Amino acid sequence: METGSEIVQGLPWRWRVQGKIFIIGGLGYMFDAWDVTLNGYLTPLLAEHFDLTVAEKGLVATANLIGMAVGAVVWGTIADRVGRKKAFSLTLLVFALFSVLAALSPTYDFFLAARFLAGVGLGGCIPVDYALVGEFTPSRRRGRVLTAMDVWWPIGGTLCGLVATALLPVHGNWRWMLTVMILPALLLFWVRRGVPESPLYLAGAGREAAARAVIDDLVARTGAESRPYAIVAPGPRAPRGVKAALAQLARIWRHNPRITSVAWLLFVSIMLVYYVSLTWLPTILKSQGYGSYAAFSGTTTMTAVGAVGVILSALLVEVVGRKWVIGISAPLASAVLVLFASTLKVHSVALLWIAVFGFVIQFTIPALYAYVAELYPTALRASGFGWASSMSRIASGFIPFIFGTVLWPQLGLTMTFTVTAAFVLVAVVWMMIAGPETKGRNLDADAPTVPAPAPVAGSA
């Protein structure tokens, strides 16, 4: 007899059913992109407003990204414990609250604290959103849908760039750049309340009646044939709190050390390259004589052309597989940054390389997210993805500070980007050796033998 998980993964795709969840989840991902991209636009403006040193400019992005690193772990673990739906709804509420406080910051230190806490809220969006969308998506379309999720990233980054550029002449422009995000985030928080809980999570949590109700509703609304299925019984209750996070981390590594090392290396290397470019690109361009509008528009162009890369990645990921898309595009994107740095004094050529980088890196990242989300079974998916994302946020959080104070001044841009390109190449080679291809793979093909997440009393 089929399991409930197999029924869900075998359903036909319907835009009014799984597509609705894809759109709502993608909008949350859009805010993540908006917020990360905003660091690059805020840095030169805050440097002028608070008279910041080079080291202090690096901390603008560091505070936010470290907060996201904490959020990726905290919310991923929460989602595996109390359910995707509750975590799905609360991440943006936390983000909106502390974004308001950041916009009202009287001092630089207050701003850093508020941005860190806003990052904690928004850092949960990616692991929670990908886990939820992936668990509602039919297996034959899952790679393409998870890859297409990343189209929301260039949309968010481009909207951020357009708004930031439009607000440049406004007094207190950096405060308004933060404020603009708040109302749409609160609206999305309200919309998210209507998203059903993941039936895969409910089954693993031992809530068979609730899982069957969601699965039966999905079968009816997609027009699929109703067939009998079994709900797999959960294991014993697992620990919670800080112990739960550490226990989940241990389970991730015990499940398969090779897979987890692949996930962490890919995330850290590829996202490090991308976050550094987002954070420092406006400042780099201004240091080379570009005006504020030119520096901002260059970064906006990079994020805008990325939408084309996402679409092509979504089309190819189910044809050639996740590993080949990542294996070719990730080193290429890193090499383009080296070309950008070496031609920086020729403005027209440098701007062309920025656009090429934006296209290629957005060809890589959606395939990366789809790949890592599929490496883990249901019991570990949100936290496995969350820990990998967290490692990238931690590394990328410190790199903006190190980049501005050590790497760029000591090595120069060209050599710095060469070093990061070599790091990406090492990660890709290890993926080819140690990582499985996940195209068409059953999400629970390699389920761990350790206990599944425990049910939480009173959760709906």
- Distance between CA 28 and CA 351 in Å, rounded? 29
201 found inside a domain: yes
Task: Give the integer Cα–Cα distance in Å for 147 and 322.
Answer: 9
User: pLDDT tens digits, residue range 210-229?
Assistant: 889 999 999 999 999 888 88
Q: How many domains does the chain have?
A: 1
Is 440 part of a structural domain of the chain?
no
pLDDT at 456: 30
What is the pTM for the complete model shown? 0.74
Instruction: Give the domain CATH number at 106.
Output: 1.20.1250.20
Residue 64 in any domain: the answer is yes
Q: Which residues pair with 229 in a beta bridge?
A: 2
Average pLDDT, the chain: 83
CA distances from 139 to 119, 200, 380 (A): 31, 13, 18
Tokens found for residue 93: 């509420």
Q: Do 188 and 24 meet the contact criterion of CB atoms below 8 Å apart?
A: yes
pLDDT 10s digits, 229-246: 888 765 555 555 567 667
Q: What is the pLDDT of residue 415?
A: 93
Regarding predicted confidence, which is higher, 207 or 457? 207
Q: Is the pLDDT of residue 283 over 80?
A: yes
In the predicted model, what is the mean pLDDT of residues 285-310? 84
The rounded distance, in Å, linking the Cα atoms of 457 and 196 is 18
Q: What value does the mean pLDDT take over residues 315-325?
A: 86
Q: Considering the domain boundaries, does residue 309 fall inside one? A: yes
The mean per-residue pLDDT over the stretch 327-345 comes to: 94
> Does some domain include residue 166?
yes
pLDDT value of position 398? 82
Higher pLDDT, 293 or 165: 165
Mind listing the pLDDT tens digit for each residue in 253-277?
988 899 999 999 999 999 889 888 8
Is residue 90 a part of any domain in this protein? yes
Query: Do residues 134 and 441 lie in contact, with contact meaning Cβ atoms separated by under 8 Å?
Result: no
Q: How confident is the model over 417-446, as a mean pLDDT?
A: 85
Q: Is 447 part of any domain?
A: no
Q: Grade residue 87 by pLDDT with cuts at 50, 70 and 90.
A: confident
Supply the range of the domain harboring residue 210: 2-434
- The reported pLDDT for the residue numbered 457 is 30
Residue among 366, 364, 343, 342 at smallest CA distance from 414: 342
Residue 446: pLDDT band with limits 50, 70, 90: low
Burial of residue 228 (CB within 10 Å: 0-12, 13-18, 19+) is: exposed
